[in-house]
Amino acid sequence: MTHDLVERLVGHRTCLAQELRERWHDGEDQTVEHYLEISEALDRTTALLTALVPRGWLVLGLLGLAPAFVTDRGAPVALVIGLGGVLLAHQALRRLAAGLWHLAGAVIAWQQVAPLFHAASRLEMGGVPATAHVSCSGSSGSRDAPVLLAAHDLVFRYRNRGEPILRGCSLQVYAGDRLLLAGPTGGGKSTFASLLTGLRQPESGLLLLWGLDRQSLGAWGWRQRIVAAPQFHENHVLTGTFAFNLLMGRRWPPRPEDIDAAGRVCDELGLGDLLARMPAGLLQMVGETGWQLSHGERSRLYIARALLQGVDLILLDESFAALDPETLRRTLRCVLDRAPTLLVIAHP
Q: What is the mean pLDDT of each run of 10 residues along the chain (348 residues)?
A: 64 61 73 80 74 73 72 70 78 78 76 68 41 48 80 85 82 92 83 90 91 90 91 85 93 92 95 92 86 89 94 92 88 94 87
| pTM: predicted TM-score of the whole model, two decimal places | 0.61
What is the reported pLDDT for 136?
A: 52
**Tell me, what amino acid is at 313?**
L
Cβ distance 256 to 263 under 8 Å?
Answer: no
Q: How many helices (H) and strands (E) does the chain have?
A: 12, 10
Q: How many CB atoms are located within 10 Å of the residue 14 CB?
A: 16
Cβ distance 250 to 310 under 8 Å?
Answer: yes
Integer Cα distance of 300 and 140 in angstroms? 24
- Domains of the chain and any CATH numbers: 2-121 (no CATH), 136-346 (3.40.50.300)
What is the reported pLDDT for 140?
A: 53
What is the reported pLDDT for 206?
A: 92
Q: What is the DSSP letter of 184?
A: -
What is the reported pLDDT for 91?
A: 80
CA Rg value for the chain: 32
Pick from 195, 201, 225: which is nearest to 211 by CA? 225
**Tell me, what amino acid is at 182?**
A
What is the reported pLDDT for 55?
A: 72
